[in-house]
Every structure is written in structure tokens, then in C-alpha cells.
Chains A and B, each alone.
Chain A
Amino acid sequence: MEQQTGTFAVKKGLAQMLKGGVIMDVVTAEHAKIAEDAGACAVMALERVPADIRVQGGVARMSDPELILKIMDTVSIPVMAKCRIGHFVEAQILESLGVDYIDESEVLTPADEAFHIYKHDFKVPFVCGCRNLGEALRRIGEGAAMIRTKGEAGTGDVVEAVRHARTVFGEIRRLQNMPDEELMTFAKEIGAPYELVKEVKELGHLPVVNFAAGGIATPADAALMMQLGVDGVFVGSGIFKSGDPAKRATAIVKATTHYRDASILAEVSRNLGEPMVGLNVSSMPESDKMAGRGW
């Protein structure tokens, strides 16, 4: 048999290699090196971290290919990059650069308010955000090979990440207890493909790797998400918007590995310097929230 590239198993396989790890947002090659040295299992190359996108406003787009290529040259770990929701040409460009994963992300300004990218058309794998099981399965139906719960990016407030992870896991637990005759109606209610609903019931988890994202700022936040049951964490603004990025990055990596060991968590949480300045999601106007982007 010939060698086959770009199969769904191969796309999903890379996400499996990232499990138990931390994927860090980086905006320069120097950041990328700091992240790799701290033990990041991958980096997300972008021009502005979500906290800055919030402050500066305007349209947030795919990053300059020059920046992404520089970061790819600098580190040996996988490099991810973001495209706008529905912007399949940005995705084509990122694929041609050779990035290892594309994040079709609500953190950037959506390019299409009705449709996401048909991700099966690509050889490069995609990760997409979700707030609940239906959204996760719609994205997997379109070809996403990895899922992340959205949280609320650029806030340093973990509450939405917790809400979205609990929602997904809670819906899966409910599904597992459902008799088969109720699955079609459940699929209709959550707007998910029936075949994937059946598969999740059998597996007891999503058919792809599921990380947490959006608001993780401390080692304790990372361990909280891991104990809730996610496979790993994305940390965006939390590292490079803090007082001592290298130290905080290392601490979050250790906390993600030793997420059940409270004495190690206490040790790595000591003297980390200033955390990122947080934004309280509960007092934020709806129009400022990014998690609602996605259909």
C-alpha cells in the first residue's frame, strides 16, 4: 500500500501527541523560543494576543506569513496559526506555509456569519472552539480534528472555560444514559450530526482530543481544567502578559503534568510575579464577548 497523507486519523493523531501539554500563544520568534524552552508542546503564532485585540479593537485577521515562517524556523515543536471563521483562503495560505495545525478561531473577526470552513478539503488539521456538545460535533462534522472549549479569550478569567468544559462533559454524561430511541431527537435539539451523537454515546468522550482555552492564567487554572477532564490547555495572553513569562510558562507546564499533585501545584505557584491584569467576564457587555462567534 502507498503512503497516505492527510487522512483523518493522521490529523487527529497529531492532537493525540499534544495531550497533557500546554499550547502557548506567541507573537515573536523570541517568545516562541521561551515557550519551547519552558516545555510547551506547541505554539500558536499570532500578531496580537487576545488581550491586545480586545484593547486595540479593529478587525483581527490572519497573521503576516513572514512572522509565522520566522516562528516555524525558530522552534522544533509544532506551530499552529489562526484564521478567521469561514475564511477558507486564509486557511489555504496557512496550509501552503506548512503550519502544523490551523485554529479557525473566534478570537479573530469572523469572515462569514453563517458558515465555517469545510475542513475535510484540507491536508492540514484544524482545531475549532466550542461552548457545548452540539457546537463541538458540528465542527467535527465539518472536519475539525481537535476541539477546544472556547472560554473567554484575553480576560484571564477562567469562569467561561469552566462553564464550557462542564457543559460539554455534562451533556456527554447525559447522552450516555439515554436510550437509543432518544438520540435522534437529542441530535436535533443540540444541532449535531446523528452519527457523531451515536459515536459519542459509545465512546463516552468526544471522538477527537479536547483541550481547554480562554482565560487560563495560572498553574492552578490549568490544573483545574485538567481535573475537570480536558486533555490539555491553551494559554493565550496569560503567559506573555504576565510579569515573568518564562517562569510562569514553566510553572503552567509542570502544573498540567502534575495536575493532581497539590504539593507540586503549591510549589510551582510560588513567586511567579504579577499575573496578567484580568477582566471580569460577568461585568463585560455581551458585545465584547468573543465566545458567541461561531454557528
Chain B
Amino acid sequence: MKIGVLALQGDFAEHIRMLKQLDVETVEVRLPNQLTGLDGLILPGGESTTIGKLCVDYGLLQPLQQFGQGHAMWGTCAGAILLSRDASRSQPLLGLMDIRVARNAFGRQVDSFEADLDIEPLKQATNTRAPYHAFFIRAPIIEAVEGTAQVLATLPDGRIVAAGQGKLLATSFHPELTADTRFHEYFLSLIDS
């Protein structure tokens, strides 16, 4: 299995480190031709405006949209914003998932936080019971989940922080900043599904 990580800006190296721990071959993707032969793609955390602009400048928007129609794709934080159809402001998006997100929804950096989440689909997929410890860094929330998209995780107050749609996955938080590989395992399981 070969997984690409979009490496325009952000914490792509952290995702690659997690995938290597799971013995997965990885490719840094900066240009469209680097998508060839991949089984799945991760859009990392970072600044969504920066990543979106570089996608436009190097002709990646359309190839990424095409790739996401047939393959597994997972966006964390900025990556989740890119996957969304609507980010409540004008910026380049892939529009692959029927979700609406709000950027910086918890406030500024002093409001960034860590918290335990109870994520049923993750527990089932990995056959584990421990809660999932998640990092929210100037994080977006998923305001609306429409069409065939489904809610995967919420905060205790009900706000949506993870959603899935077929082989597509969006999380407000950063599994790549943890030592817990369960979310990456869950993503890999979508490729085989």
C-alpha cells in the first residue's frame, strides 16, 4: 500500500511518521504527477489559505478532486477545511464532502485545547475501548453534515468534530500529533473497504 501526504505546507512530516510506524510506504505530494499510483491521500494540518493557494498555483485542485472521487482521502484540521463544500468564507476548496465548516471556531490560539473523545466507529474499527485523546489547534468545527456524509465524533456539548462520507474522512483535530495510531489505522481500513 502506498499513501500520499500533501506536502505543500503544514505538519505532513508528522503524518508520514505515523504511517511509517504502521509500515506503510509514503510519498510527499507537491505536484499533480505525484498522485500517480497512490492508494490514498492525507491532507495535513497547516494553514488552509496557504495550502489552498499553492494547490491553485500548481494545478492541484482538479487532480485532487478527481483522485478523491475514487480513493480514500483524509483531511485533518486545514485538510478537513479543504475537503469541505463550504468554509463560510471565500477560499479555494475541493468540495468533495457534503460538510460545512467554520474556521477557528473555538477562538484564537489561547483557546486551543486537548480533550478525550469517545468515538464509537473508531473503537469498533480498531477493536479497542480506550477514549481517544485529541488535540484541537485553532480548530474548525463541522457545522453541518449533509447528503451521505455522517457524523463520526462530537464534543460532549454536541459540536461535530469528525465526519465520514464513503472513503472520505474529515477531523477537526490532529491524530498526527499523538502517539496513538488508531485513527491512521482506521483510515487505512477505509482503503480496503
Using a CB–CB cutoff of 8 Å, the interface residues on chain A facing chain B are 1-7, 9-11, 13-14, 16-21, 36-42, 72, 76-78, 95, 98-101, 123-125, 253-254, 256-258, 261
Q: What total count of A-B pairs have CB within 8 Å?
A: 121
Q: How far is the CB of B125 from chain A (nearest CB, A)?
A: 22
A5 and B30: CB pair below 8 A? no
Looking at the complex, which one of A18, A39, A76 makes contact with B53 (CB distance below 8 Å)?
A39
Determine which of B57, B77, B114, B116 lies in contact with A17 in the assembled complex, contact meaning CB atoms within 8 Å.
B77
B114 touches A20 (CB 8 A): no
Indicate if the CB atoms of A4 and B177 lie closer than 8 Å: no
Tell me the bound Cα distance from A275 to B110 in angstroms.
36
Contact, CB under 8 Å: B49 / A17? no
B30 touches A1 (CB 8 A): no
Least Cβ–Cβ distance between A253 and chain B, in angstroms: 7
Instruction: Give the nearest-CB partner of B11 in chain A.
Output: A16
Give the complex CA separation of A256 and B45 in angstroms. Answer: 17
| Residues of B close to A1: CB separation below 8 A | 115-116, 131
Across the interface, B45 reaches (CB within 8 A) one of A9, A17, A38, A101, namely A17
Residues in chain B near residue A40, CB distance under 8 A: 50
Is A76 a contact partner of B14 (Cβ separation < 8 A)? no
B50 near A41 with CB under 8 A, answer: yes
Report the Cα distance A52→B9, complex, angstroms: 30
| With A16-B14, A20-B7 as contacts: A39 and B111 at CB distance below 8 Å | no
B138 touches A253 (CB 8 A): no
Would you call B49 and A21 a contact (CB within 8 A)?
no
Given contacts A4-B115, A21-B47, A257-B54, contact A14 B109 (CB under 8 A): yes
